[in-house]
């Protein structure tokens, strides 16, 4: 169970996941050892799943981000497909959705040729019946 101090730690990490533990401990008014123990507990309880970076937006890099909506032939093939999606570093996340499609893949900003390659790999996955690609023009927030 998270308490107020855990929430403060998480908020600081959301702002800057590379904040040194000594700075973090100062901000939450706890010892370095106590903060390290809390971080370990949050990681072990999967309250923190990882640390990440922020990359430049598509407008800055010239890369293209996309959302790929996927319909499966048979829903039971979805689990095998997700095991393949997770191996593709260009896919930022995979959401199971309801409606006309089974999955929504969020594709990181990449060059057009690389996006085409990723889409070809997705089309080849067993059970993928149909895809719809939505190109991202910019990230608003």
Q: Is the pLDDT of residue 52 over 80?
A: no
Decide: pTM greater than 0.75.
Answer: no
CATH of domain 58-136: 3.30.70.920
Beta-bridge mates of residue 140: none
Q: Residues, the chain, total?
A: 141
Q: Where in the chain is the domain with CATH 1.10.10?
A: 4-44
How far apart, in Å, are the Cα atoms of 141 and each of 57, 65, 138? 10, 14, 9
CATH of domain 4-44: 1.10.10
pLDDT tens-digit readout, 67-116? 999 999 988 899 999 999 999 988 989 999 999 999 999 998 888 888 89
Q: Where in the chain is the domain with CATH 3.30.70.920?
A: 58-136
Helix (H) or strand (E) holding 134: strand 128-136
- Give the separation between CA 39 and CA 5, rounded to whole angstroms: 11
- pLDDT range class, residue 59, cuts 50, 70, 90: very low
Neighbours of 63 (CB within 10 A): 19
- Give the separation between CA 16 and CA 97, rounded to whole angstroms: 31
């Amino acid at each position: 169970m998270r308490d107020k101090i855990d929430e403060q730690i998480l908020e600081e990490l959301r702002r800057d996941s590379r904040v040194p533990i000594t700075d973090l401990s100062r901000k939450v008014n706890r010892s370095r050892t106590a903060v390290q123990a809390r971080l370990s507990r949050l990681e072990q309880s999967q309250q923190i799943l990882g640390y990440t970076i922020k990359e430049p937006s598509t407008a800055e890099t010239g890369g293209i981000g996309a959302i790929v909506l996927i319909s499966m032939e048979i829903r039971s093939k979805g689990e095998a497909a997700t095991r393949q999606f997770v191996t593709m570093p260009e896919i930022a996340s995979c959401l199971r959705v309801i409606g006309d499609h089974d999955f929504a893949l969020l594709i990181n900003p990449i060059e057009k040729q690389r996006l085409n390659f990723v889409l070809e790999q997705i089309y080849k996955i067993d059970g993928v019946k149909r895809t719809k690609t939505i190109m991202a023009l910019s990230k608003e927030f």
